[in-house]
Chains A and B, each alone.
Chain A
Amino acid sequence: MTAPPATDVIDKRARSLVPWLLVAGPTLALLVFFVLPNAILLSAGFLKSEGQTLTGQLTFENYAFFFGRPTYVAALLRTFFIALSVGVLVVVLGFPLAYFLTRTRSRWKGLLIALSLSPLLASVVVRTYGWFIIFNRFGALNDFLLYTGFIKERLAFMPSTGAIIVGLTHSLLPYGVLTIMAAVQSLNPQLELAAMSLGASRTRTFLRVTLPLCLPGIAGGFILAFSISLSAYATPAILGGPSTQTIATLLYTFMIAILDWSVGSMLGTILIVTSGLMVYLATKLGAKRSAL
């Protein structure tokens, strides 16, 4: 064998550089505007700060300060409770809708899908505003219950954890529907027919065939709703109050009102770690399949 002509070698080397040239710019942009800011945030939680300026001193004071106060720990637990409830509700409401939307033969199918996903077009502020009109002291729900005589005096539906859960479930339902629809779509209806033709009852078919085969989609919807709820700010800010603080609203208070950026960063770190865990879980369950 003779060595390949020199030009070929150069060409090959040049070609192996092509992917690097393509991705170099974008990678740099991501490193500067995504990785670096997050690295600063992660380290800021462990640094002492004088108001907005960080000093180089290493400290765990921020963590001790936060976990030493029952109100803050309660806010942390409340955040997890909200995220868990929202995740469950999104899946429970999302599954029947997703199942119906993929299997229906109605000629309105396209419109129905568009309608059920339409809230995604609106900012979460817009989606939560409607719940304020319903839940507030002089709102539609109180008016209705007074009018029909169910209650004698106005009730405080908000600020409350329940109102936050309802608002977030409403905001995140389209994500659940989208994720579960993908799973129902990949489920062959013939499998369900086969199970029934072999004598399985409808309930048994649903529990033993349909549900298990849709599980990755359901898990994906749950994890998506859970992790977005963890760090949702607008909904708890509108439908909650001082007695229903969550990590995100505390974070806002520390960053903007108290101007203690290192405690704010520490709260950000808690959010990064928990959502990182959720993403890890999601990939383990195979729920999130990337397009790449």
Chain B
Amino acid sequence: MINGVRRGSNAAPWFALKVVNTVIFIFILGPILITAAASFNEANQSKFPPRGFSLKWWADAFSDDWVDPVLFSFRLAICAALVSTIVALPLTFGLTRYRFKGRDALITLALGPLMLPALVISIGLLQFFYLIGLGDYVGFWALLAGHFVICLPFSVRTIAISLYGLPANVEKAAASLGASPVTVLFKVVFPLIKNGILAGAVFSFIHSFSDVNVSLFISRPGQMPVSVKILGFLEFGFAPTLAAVAILTMIIPLVLIIAIERFGGLGDFIYGERARG
């Protein structure tokens, strides 16, 4: 019915909208496709359209020079996702299930890293580590601290969405049937919010893996996420190797998303707010 009205009297504007959006789609996807194409150049410049066809830049991308930072980013993102999930679980449980003094302030605090520029968090952490005499830990440990901070809001939000979707009665029912609080937690609550926990971890992983800003000041040679390393190399030259590495770093989260989508689905969490009305 609604469709009929639109197709009937609204056909022209709808068609115009489609044309406009085609252009916007080209704008969105063009640069990424161009980067992908440039990585197959035979010339030693990132040219588009590519001059000739060669896989040599991809071979470069898979040399130790670039595989090491990619693996470093991968490890860092896994650790950041794990830590932020583990910290977010009790925090979110407390925030959603209880009303207590300072709750509002704590919510602001937990979501705060989302609102503060990550660049600023990076400088703050740099100075903090030097001030407490742990300057030597700038590198992996400072990066983990920074990535944990910027990932926490993602874990908290997705876990909160699934906890709100879980009626408190379920827990009460289990408890009234004689389950101990620990049993309730592990046999009832965790299985039911499993998807929320997983989605939070995936968002955290992607956020950490693609981050530049928070890592900028707290990396050191050898302990540097691949995004920061690419950025450093961009100043010297634009060899197609960088295009290949750039595309490579995009494939890893893409594979992860597809795998998770098969497994449970993330759509609920992208539209989480709508689901709650």
Interface residues of A (CB under 8 A from B): 16, 18-20, 22-23, 25-27, 29-30, 33-38, 40-41, 44, 52, 54, 93, 96-97, 99-100, 105, 115-127, 129-134, 136, 138-140, 170, 173-174, 178, 182, 185-186, 189-190, 193, 202, 227-228, 230-234, 237-238, 248, 251-252, 255-256, 261, 264-265, 268, 271-272, 275-276, 279, 289-292
Report A-chain residues with C-beta under 8 Å of the C-beta of B90: 22-23, 25-26
Kindly state the separation between the CA atoms of A105 and B10 in the bound complex, as whole angstroms: 14
B10/A140 in contact, CB under 8 A: no
- Besides A97-B21, A255-B126, A292-B160, 14 more A-B contacts (Cβ < 8 Å) are A30-B112, A40-B127, A52-B130, A93-B24, A127-B32, A138-B47, A173-B27, A193-B2, A248-B119, A251-B119, A268-B119, A268-B124, A291-B157, A292-B156
Kindly state the separation between the CA atoms of A54 and B123 in the bound complex, as whole angstroms: 14
A27/B3 in contact, CB under 8 A: no
User: Chain B interface: which size bin?
Assistant: 35 or more
B48/A30 in contact, CB under 8 A: no
A233/B212 in contact, CB under 8 A: yes
B231/A237 in contact, CB under 8 A: yes
Report A13 CB to chain B, min CB distance, Å. 13
B95/A123 in contact, CB under 8 A: no
A124/B35 in contact, CB under 8 A: no
B253/A193 in contact, CB under 8 A: no
Known: A134-B48, A189-B2, A272-B117. A115 touches B29 (CB 8 A): yes
Tell me which of A129, A139, A232, A252 has the highest count of chain B C-beta atoms within 10 A of its own C-beta. A129
Pick out which of these stretches binds chain A: B52-60, B61-69, B170-178, B243-251: B243-251
Report B-chain residues with C-beta under 8 Å of the C-beta of A23: 90-91, 94-95, 106
Q: Across the interface, name the chain A residue whose C-beta is closest to B48.
A: A140
A170/B238 in contact, CB under 8 A: no
> Contact partner of A290 among B111, B125, B216, CB < 8 A?
B111
Q: Across the interface, name the chain A residue whose C-beta is closest to B33.
A: A130
A292/B107 in contact, CB under 8 A: yes
A233/B34 in contact, CB under 8 A: no
Kindly state the separation between the CA atoms of A114 and B33 in the bound complex, as whole angstroms: 16
Report B25 CB to chain A, min CB distance, Å. 7
For chain B residues 86-118, which have a beta carbon within 8 Å of chain A?
A: 87-88, 90-91, 93-98, 100, 106-107, 109-113, 115-118
Kindly state the separation between the CA atoms of A133 and B270 in the bound complex, as whole angstroms: 32
Report A62 CB to chain B, min CB distance, Å. 14
A26/B13 in contact, CB under 8 A: no
A127/B31 in contact, CB under 8 A: yes
Kindly state the separation between the CA atoms of A127 and B209 in the bound complex, as whole angstroms: 14
B32/A119 in contact, CB under 8 A: yes
A170/B253 in contact, CB under 8 A: no
B231/A234 in contact, CB under 8 A: yes
Kindly state the separation between the CA atoms of A251 and B35 in the bound complex, as whole angstroms: 29
A272/B120 in contact, CB under 8 A: yes
B254/A121 in contact, CB under 8 A: yes
Report B-chain residues with C-beta under 8 Å of the C-beta of A121: 206, 210, 250, 253-254, 257
Report A-chain residues with C-beta under 8 Å of the C-beta of B115: 227, 275-276, 279
Report A-chain residues with C-beta under 8 Å of the C-beta of B24: 93, 96-97, 173
Report B-chain residues with C-beta under 8 Å of the C-beta of A99: 17
Interface residues of B (CB under 8 A from A): 2-3, 5, 10, 13, 17-18, 20-21, 24-25, 27-35, 38, 45-49, 87-88, 90-91, 93-98, 100, 106-107, 109-113, 115-121, 123-128, 130-131, 145-146, 148-149, 152, 156-157, 160-161, 164, 206, 209-213, 216-217, 227, 230-231, 234-235, 238, 242-243, 246-247, 249-250, 253-254, 257, 270-274, 276
Kindly state the separation between the CA atoms of A276 and B216 in the bound complex, as whole angstroms: 22
Kindly state the separation between the CA atoms of A271 and B117 in the bound complex, as whole angstroms: 7
Report A-chain residues with C-beta under 8 Å of the C-beta of B249: 122-123, 126
Kindly state the separation between the CA atoms of A83 and B32 in the bound complex, as whole angstroms: 23
Report A-chain residues with C-beta under 8 Å of the C-beta of B97: 19
Give me 30 A-to-B residue pairs in the complex whose CB atoms sit less than 8 angstroms apart, sorted by A's number. Answer: A20-B100, A22-B90, A23-B91, A23-B95, A26-B87, A34-B112, A37-B127, A38-B121, A40-B128, A97-B25, A99-B17, A115-B28, A115-B29, A121-B210, A121-B250, A122-B249, A123-B210, A123-B211, A123-B250, A125-B246, A126-B250, A129-B246, A130-B35, A134-B48, A234-B231, A237-B235, A238-B234, A265-B127, A291-B157, A291-B164
Report B-chain residues with C-beta under 8 Å of the C-beta of A41: 120, 123-124, 127
Report A-chain residues with C-beta under 8 Å of the C-beta of B156: 292
Report B-chain residues with C-beta under 8 Å of the C-beta of A97: 21, 24-25
Report A-chain residues with C-beta under 8 Å of the C-beta of B119: 231, 233, 248, 251, 268, 271
Report A-chain residues with C-beta under 8 Å of the C-beta of B21: 96-97, 100
